[in-house]
Amino acid sequence: MGIRKIVEIGDETLRKHCKPQEKFDHRLHVLLKDMADTMYKAEGVGLAAPQVGILRRVAVVDITEDHSGLLELVNPEILERDGSQTGREGCLSLPGRQGVVTRPMKVKVRYQDRKGDLYEFETEGFEARAICHELDHLDGTLYIDVMDRELTEEEIKGHIPEDDAQ
């Protein structure tokens, strides 16, 4: 297992625009494996390459509790957005903080896998939220830049009105 150090807010790396991943080589495969291991260890549902100091368009997402839903997204793009959802969001690069963020309810995504093969799929709900969050990272955008409001420490522990909204 290669656990990488997660860059935290204040580090300029998080504000950079990432370049396309052009080589689908062993180095990319190690990066993807390390990013998944790092995300799982930190109990996150997504991680983008700039969060481990790599300025490439690579992200991993897995919203399942049993780690059965890993998505390895290389050069991902959102082709279509539909509807909206408003709910809480956090980020491994902003530990201890949460905000309320409005995102599309459904997205259609195009990406390359670790071999460079091109795929498209549609997803919705929390997975759509996680994908939008990770893709924002690839352009230097954090959820705090697009959030409706930041949660207080009390709200982070408890129920917020937005939890009922969709």
Q: Which is nearer to Ni ion, 74 or 131 (CB)?
A: 131
Given 18, 36, 91, 107, the residue binding Ni ion (CB under 5 A): 91
Under 8 Å between Cβ of 132 and 104: yes
Only one of the segments 20-28, 58-66, 83-91, 152-160 lies at the binding site for Ni ion (rule: CB under 5 A); that segment is 83-91
Q: Where are the alpha helices (DSSP H) in 8-124?
A: 26-41
Nearest-approach distance from CB 71 to Ni ion, in angstroms: 15
- Closest by Cα among 13, 8, 11, 14 to 137: 14
- Closest by Cα among 37, 40, 60 to 49: 60
Nearest-approach distance from CB 156 to Ni ion, in angstroms: 16
Q: Which of 22, 134, 154, 155 is catalytic?
A: 134
Give, rounded to a whole angstrom, the gap between the first and last alpha carbons of the chain. Answer: 37
134 is catalytic: yes
Residues found near Ni ion in the complex (CB under 5 A): 91
